[in-house]
Amino acid sequence: MRRRLRSLDALAATAAIWFLAKSLRYAFPPLFGTLSARYGVSNATLGLAFTAMMLVYALCQFPAARSPIAWVRRE
C-alpha cells in the first residue's frame, strides 16, 4: 500500500510540474507587450528570454523520457 501511495505522490508532483511548465509556456508570450511597457525591455530581449526558457524545457525532455524507462527496468 505504501508503495502505491509513493507512486501517486510522484504522479501528483509530475502533474504539477507539467502544469506549471505548460502554463508558463502559453502565458508568457501574450505578456510581452505588458512586460515591455512596464520594465522598458525590448521585444527582442523578451524573445531571447523566452527562447532560453524553451531551450531548457527542450533539454529536460530527453532525461524526463528516459527516467521512467530506467525505473521500470529496475523493478
Return the pLDDT at 70. 64
Domain ranges (residues) in the chain: 2-74
Return the pLDDT at 7. 63
Which whole-number Å values give the CA distances from 37 to 31, 34, 40, 50, in the listed order?
A: 10, 5, 5, 17
Rounded to whole angstroms, how far apart are CA atoms 33 and 48? 15
pLDDT digits (tens, 9 = 90+) for 56-67: 888 877 776 666
- Is there a contact between 43 and 32 (Cβ–Cβ < 8 Å)? yes
